Structure 1
């Protein structure tokens, strides 16, 4: 039974790494059953913690607490080696404290942290575990505004540091953070500079970039912008070099090593970049304060989609395609102007500057959602015209009395509440005032000219086509609109377009639906059939001279086999959004004995497709998890798989009007090679039949127009 338990636990962890949480939970539960049978208390408690962590990763905090309580009950008993038992109990309490904090249950969090601190001070607990517990307790008090209590705990860190450089660094950064939040910037700078000096040691070099960013941010607070610029440039250069992957990472084995690199780039590096984004934002702030707006644009561009650009570069290199240094790393103002000129497009880049999170460290671990929201302070907008002219606008966000994210959410909710023919109650106009009005005079007057939006943060969820001016006119009525994650990604995507080799079309509609559980641990229910999606697929297949794949024939295995051969891929089915991880977002296909029917974003990113266009006629296919590296989801995975153009959706789309829009789109593609113009014309035609933006505004073209 011991061997069985080890195998079950190993399988559970493997599924967790693959983000297949339902399967992971199943095998953890089997591990738990075996552990109880053989009376292995340690494995039972560890497995309960693993299950609790799974639930926490999915935002199901009540279930997580339930399993943590069961683990605490076991570690309260006397069994095994005391050091291991108390160490396990300490891990349980720290996770529980985080969850209570995220739910604003401060009294419960306080009680948990007090218990954790009592254990941490036991002679059997290692020094690092003790230090991390003291730090988290200190941060708890700091967030409550009880600064003296936080100071006392951080000073304890210095006391126990002794010869441990990492603990000393942790204490210095925590003390700097504490004084910064109290706006005692000279004192904060004193501790941050000590942290930089310590981080220059070889064993702490990983933390040098974030420590320099702390110093640079503090210089900004002190209005010493030149000094801030110098330090922050060093910080982001160091950070970028630490996480950069190159063609040398590929070897003759090709695909196997690439798969490992793909997992690294898509799962781990974006979260590291999330910690660095503050440094890039602070550098933009320092440059804008010195009126260096073009230099700030270069930094804004450099900050976005870095892991994504690395992934595209590696995949192009693996296919034998030479990639220019400018595309792989960053691009200059002159290169941005070239891209706008080559595409005859107006590029609009947004950057939201937020109130920083101190320390540049993810507080609660990389795989659990951080509940801390950052306040939006400023919106920076650059317009790069085809003639090379660059316009810059700056908007004070404190005046809107709301976060940009909340405004975007309100606009989306207003769209979904609209009845046919009824105009928005004002949310779409407010977004237009914020995002479009400041640059309205810089936009092209020709409605056929391309406008490419490069959003930031929550703006990735904006339905730009549906924004309304003061007269109630939608933006799509005046402009031909595309979106892209970054300007340099446009260059990489064009190189992918040049190697498109697929032939014919693959059209899928209304597959026999798989079973799905909205929440982890629930009994899966079969997704509803989409009869109109089937009619849509039949009509589109006729236009594209192919046979649609419908119902039970549309298995995941069959579709995956055909996808690399197709030039156009159209999937009319359910799309599922992974709100927490992104790479778990999926397209619903027919299940088989070998799989559950879900084609996930993680699986797509490892594929090699040869299509010039993929249309995901499904719900939420353009959404995902927003990180410092952009949106991680289906659209990003399709880019990584080699697709240069895709049409995806931003919300759950009604069945009937979607079919109307898609038919209009493909009819226009028969004579109109411009995919963006074809989508615009299809939307305008659909508006006449289905006026509500809910019915036509969800879809967006990402990537190349031709």
Structure 2
């Protein structure tokens, strides 16, 4: 909770807040309750003797009224301040009548002070600037110095540090011109305060240390005490508590010597903060109470509110939330009484933090939302960033990651704008936490590594420890245990150095987690128990729940079921009490796992279903499609466990329909993001969205295209360094992330998107009614760590089978795929593969036999004369089933499944149902065929050299992706001409040579065609799937390099209601495999764009063979009127029967995804 360290700014106290952090779950996520300026700075009062002139009466009256205003000011209440305004305004008019410019300046200065104190910074600036103008008019250099100092104070409070420094430096120059050492010391101190707030601690110390000897030289012990206090504040913030205590202890006796009770109260308050941070709460309370007594003696209600705030923080840390709230409410009432809006905002923020820690998220939001407008009203941008960050923390804790990202990003922008590096570091850290939770570990590391150097620059050891801990956690999750321990062991001494026992408990827990995963269970228990002791000591219920859960996990592995269950059952209610939904799902799953092992299947099922219900609810709140996918992928273990449990129940109770429930559960985690994207595709989600967001989306699209073009131009020049190339690669990735965030905001604010019903996965009955027909058999595979499963579903029945575990199946699939890419390999030949393949030593017959036994023999009797619709999982998604042997055939008698069955693929049964529903309402495009082929890729393409009459410099295109040379695909022209000849010219559209470009591919005219054929190269980007795509002409007709990449993110923006899209390109069927989503490739992009079926390739396809296959394929569709699925089978059979192309390399790579009707 916030402790407010006070810095001095002459002549009144200048207050600043203190950054704290909160550790959540295994990752300590920093949320800061306050940072930067947290209270007002006041204008100095200038006591100037009034001039006597002929207007004696007016002058006398003005002086009397002015003094009455001064007395009202001393009362220090909002009411007395407003009464003082009336007095000063009357006095001002009288001074204006007498022509006394100096007194007018003084009175304007006092009015500026009052409005500043009341939080009206803009009005304060108006009066101060009027005062400054008058002091310049009469060449009152001393008055100018004072007023500039006051204006600097206002800009400082508004977060405009640059203007504040400018004013202070002008004031300092004038004081030096006058030789006024006292004001020099004051202004140097104030400049130090600005640098302190900016996080530039060494620069702050430099100015404080210039101020200090001047004060000593002048014998100004009051100012010396102020500066010593402020130096102490710097060391306090740097985590050097002993050095801070030394300076505070030097300041305190000086304040006592000069009888400065205000100064004493400030320093006693700050000493209390030191003991508070060191964990000595009793000593801290003693100092806070001494400060409070002095505050009350001198009637400093603002200071009293500050100390009440800090006492509340003590009770909060001790777990006495009611006492904390009592003291915060006393502080709030005092701030309201004196009209201190900044103080009100600080305390409302802190009350919100208490309710947040009590898991009363709605009440927390209520107080944060009261604090936020006050922050904005007084222009406290640093404080505004703080509260925005904390609101983000509430949504983060609620599992609403999208909302959390929104608020964190607002906070980050403000912190960066005002130069608040502490706030910036904190929010960057929190953003890292979001991405880590959602499974995007590389993005998490990026944000943590942006936060860490900022923490170090400003000397924030507490924050540095937090971020080091979090980096360690990411490496732990990535499986790099030694790197994880390295970061944890850097974090731990910092935790102890600054007395952060809550953080120490977090890091001890995390070290325990590493040893746990390494199998060193006793070492893990040692660290977990140390963590648990500390968490309970500081009453950190979230940390306690996490560690109890982890201890339960150790005892589960050790086989001590009773102990494990006891720990889980302690953790679960704490997580529920804290409304930690993500943590609750984890513990529910752990209990489910334990109960299954004990044979309590029904109890296990109840627990895992409760966990899945939480996950389903949390994922729907994420509107960024990529993040939603990442989050869901991180939860797949729980769904796979539910599958296994249901199938074990089916084995025990075969007549109770558990196999159907397992199938429905399998559908729950199949291509869910694609399912939702397809539902959204026909809703105009941009309707009703703020124009600025749509403009930002369009702008980012243009910037992405421009960056792609710059990248190509750089590579084409041949004169660049790897570093320059990497800069553009990074820029492209960064722009893509921004683009995805803007799209998430569009969804988040779209009335149309809000109105969409989240599509629900189909049940067995719905699959049979909506997806299957009498001729079709669905084969849905689910791979698991212990066992895998296959469901064979027909129009009227379901059968299920237990298969070997994932690792066994995927090993053989990889070996088969290796064989398929050998051009001379034929299914009937037994070839031996040695260890150089990286897949072990094996023979082709052995591989085929194993695959058959695993995948097809269990359903051999059911697949006869059936169309097979495959829903794959893991490596099975890039296995061409058509190339597998028919059950019952082996050795030289092997016959491919292609011969007996039509085979196609769908992401999930539920996805196909949505595709059908959406496509049903569409009109058939009026024209038949559009072809894009034979694009210009290469620098030495004769079509280029013929136009330019000379070779152009060789572009270093392979640097974009070293796996592709982008050579001319000469047979694609024959391929295009051959299939175009099958259709009347009036019903076709072609783009060849330079015309086969990105502009053509994204034009609206393509929406008029039933079939769109791309005969070109494909590219695969496993790091950023959205950058995968097809390659079109890289040069225009004048030989100029152009952006020829049609990326996945571009495809999502197309409107292509075609009945069939053919990607006659290299590896267009592959992309990054993501758990639960399958292969996130081009097919899903074109399905989103509007096509119900997409023909893709699984590997680099022979150009000539492809041309032959495509001609046959289109002849079957256009002349014999076969469905695309049947036509593909017939075309592949023709190649298989041709001795030149009988090897599966030539025909097995093409697969149809989507609709078969």
- Which category of TM-score, normalised to the shorter sequence, fits these structures? 0.7 to 0.9
1:672 aligns with 2:1121: yes
Counterparts of 1:645 and 1:316, CA distance in 2 = 16
1:208 is the counterpart of 2:584: yes
Using structure 2 for the length normalisation, give the TM-score: 0.48
1:306 aligned residue: 672
Q: 2:1016 aligns with which of 573, 583, 600?
A: 573
Deviation at 1:613, TM superposition (A): 0.5
| Structure 2 equivalent of residue 18 of structure 1 | none
**Aligned equivalents of 1:542 and 1:126: distance in 2?**
78
Helix, strand or coil at the partner of 2:1061: strand
Q: Tell me by how many angstroms 1:440 deviates.
A: 0.5
Indicate yes or no: 2:1063 matched with 1:616.
yes
Instruction: Encode CA deviations 1:65-104: one digit per residue, 9 max, x unaligned.
Output: 99999999x899x8543438835972796389559954xx
C-alpha contact (below 8 Å) 1:513/1:527 kept by paired residues:
yes
Question: Structure 1 residues 79 and 603, CA, compared in 2 at 3 Å: closer, same or farther?
Answer: same
What CA distance in whole angstroms lies between the structure 1 residues aligned with 2:463 and 2:587? 35
Q: 596-605 vs 488-497, which deviates more?
A: 596-605
1:604 to 1051, 1060, 1070: 1051
Distance 1:604 1:171, change over 3 A: farther
Given the alignment, which residue of 154, 171, 180 partners 2:556?
A: 180
CA contact (8 A) 1:583 1:634 kept: no
User: Structure 2 CA distance, aligned partners of 1:160 and 1:175?
Assistant: 15
Shift of the 696–525 alpha-carbon distance from structure 1 to 2, 3 Å rule, reads closer
Unaligned runs of 5+ in 2: 1-160, 163-420, 651-657, 688-751, 831-843, 939-954
Q: Match for residue 717 of structure 2? A: none
SS in 1 for 2:870: strand
Which segment is superposed worse, 172-181 or 682-691? 172-181
Correspondence 1:552 to 2:966: no
CA distance in 1, matches of 2:1109, 2:792: 30
Deviation string 1:321-377 (CA, Å, 9 cap, x unpaired) is: 99x9999202222212213544741111111222xxxxxxxxxxxxxxxxxxxxxx2
C-alpha distance in 1, partners of 2:441/2:612?
35
Rate the CA distance shift 1:93–1:652 in 2: closer, same or farther, 3 A. Answer: same
Give deviations 1:665-697, integer Å, cap 9, x for gaps.
Answer: 111111223111100000001112301111110
Distance of 1:518 and 1:123 partners within structure 2: 52
1:394–1:552: structure 2 CA closer, same or farther, 3 Å change rule? same
Structure 1 residue 456: Cα displacement: 1.8
978, 986, 1010: which one aligns with 1:539: 978
Partner of 1:272: 631
Q: Is the 8 A contact 1:348 1:381 kept in 2?
A: yes
Other-structure match for 1:17: none
- Residue in structure 2 matching 1:391, options 777, 781, 799: 799
CA shift in 2, pair 1:88/1:678, >3 Å: same
Is residue 2:696 matched to residue 1:330? no
Secondary structure of 1:287's aligned partner: helix
How many residues end up aligned between the 2 structures? 608
Structure 1 135/615 Cα, relative in aligned 2: closer, same or farther at 3 Å? Answer: farther
* Structure with the greater alpha carbon radius of gyration: 2
Give me the whole-angstrom Cα distance separating, in 2, the residues matched to 1:518 and 1:149. 50
Task: Note if 1:488 corresponds to 2:910.
Answer: yes
Confirm whether residue 685 of structure 1 aligns to residue 1134 of structure 2. yes
Question: 1:516-573: per-residue Cα shift (whole Å, max 9, x none)?
Answer: 87788x8998622222223322322333443431232222232111443432111111
SS in 1 for 2:1003: helix
- For 1:397 and 1:340, the matched residues in 2 are separated by 28
Structure 1 position 507 matched with structure 2 position 956: no
Aligned to 1:539, the other structure's residue is in SS state helix
CA distance in 2, matches of 1:65, 1:240: 26
Partner of 2:1151: 700
Counterpart of 2:660 in structure 1 is 294
Cα deviation for residue 164 of structure 1 reads 3.4
Q: Tell me which moved more, 483-492 or 267-276.
A: 267-276
1:285–1:60 Cα change, 3 Å? closer
Task: Name 1:478's counterpart in structure 2.
Answer: 900
TM-score of the two chains, using structure 1 as the length reference: 0.76
Alpha-carbon deviations, 1:244-297, whole Å to 9, x = none?
37xxxxxxxxxxxxxx94xx2x30112222233222222222222222222222
2:781 corresponds in structure 1 to: 350
Q: Distance in 1 between matches of 2:881 and 2:514?
A: 40
Distance 2:773 2:963 in 1: 50
1:115 paired residue among 477, 490, 495: 490
Contact 2:971 2:1107 in 1 (8 A): yes
Does the CA-based 8 Å contact 2:1032-2:1044 persist in structure 1? yes
State the partner residue of 2:413. Answer: none
1-structure distance, mates of 2:445, 2:593? 37
> Are the counterparts in 2 of residues 340 and 346 from structure 1 also a CA contact under 8 Å?
no
Q: Distance in 1 between matches of 2:1117 and 2:1075?
A: 34
2:818 alignment counterpart: 413
Quote the residue 2:575 is aligned against.
199
| Contact 1:100–1:108 (CA under 8 A) maintained in structure 2 | no
1:438 shift after superposition:
0.6
Partners of 1:83 and 1:125 within 8 A in 2: no
**Which residue of 2 is the match for residue 21 of structure 1?**
none
Q: Which has the higher contact order (CA 8 A, sep 6+)?
A: 1
Q: Which residue of 1 aligns with 2:876?
A: 459
In the alignment, is the contact (CA less than 8 A) between 1:86 and 1:125 conserved in 2? no
Structure 2 CA distance for aligned equivalents of residues 174 and 268 of structure 1: 26
Do the aligned partners of residues 600 and 164 (structure 1) sit closer, same or farther apart at CA in structure 2, a change above 3 Å counting? farther
Measure the CA separation in 2 of the matches of 1:405 and 1:281: 16
Residue 25 of structure 1 is matched in structure 2 by none
Relative distance call for 1:594 and 1:530 in structure 2 (3 A) is closer
Residues 406 and 626 of structure 1: CA distance in aligned 2, closer, same or farther (over 3 Å): farther
Q: Secondary structure at the match of 2:1026?
A: coil
Contact 1:654–1:695 at 8 Å: present in 2 too? yes
Whether the 8 Å CA contact 2:676–2:758 is kept in 1: the answer is: no
Task: Say if 1:500 and 1:462 are closer, same or farther in 2 by CA, change over 3 A.
Answer: farther
Task: Say what the alpha-carbon RMSD is for the aligned residues.
Answer: 4.2
Alignment-derived partner of residue 19 in structure 1 = none
For 1:146 and 1:121, how far apart are their aligned partners in 2? 25
Quickly say closer, same or farther: Cα 1:617–1:134, change in 2 above 3 A: farther
2:1080 corresponds to which residue? 632
Distance 1:523 1:341 in 2: 43
Partners of 1:329 and 1:65 lie apart in 2 by: 34
Using the TM superposition, name which of 529-538 and 201-210 deviates more: 201-210
The DSSP-based 3-state class of the residue aligned with 1:473 is coil
Aligned equivalents of 1:116 and 1:527: distance in 2?
49
- Partner Cα distance (1:609, 1:230) in 2: 44
Verify the 8 A CA contact 1:68 1:96 in the aligned structure 2.
no
Query: Cα distance 1:573–1:239, how it changes in 2: closer, same or farther (>3 A)?
Result: same
**What are the residue-to-residue correspondences of 1:134-145 with 2, within 5 Å?**
134-145=508-519
SS in 1 for 2:762: coil
When residues 492 and 41 of structure 1 are mapped into structure 2, their CA distance, relative to the original with a 3 A threshold, is: closer
Could you tell me how far apart the structure 1 residues matched to 2:447 and 2:673 are? 35
Range with bigger deviation, 674-683 or 109-118: 109-118
Matching of residues 248-267 of structure 1 within 5 Å: 261=623, 264=624, 266-267=625-626
Paired with 2:868 and 2:674, the residues of 1 have a C-alpha distance of 22
Q: What is the match of residue 967 of structure 2?
A: 528
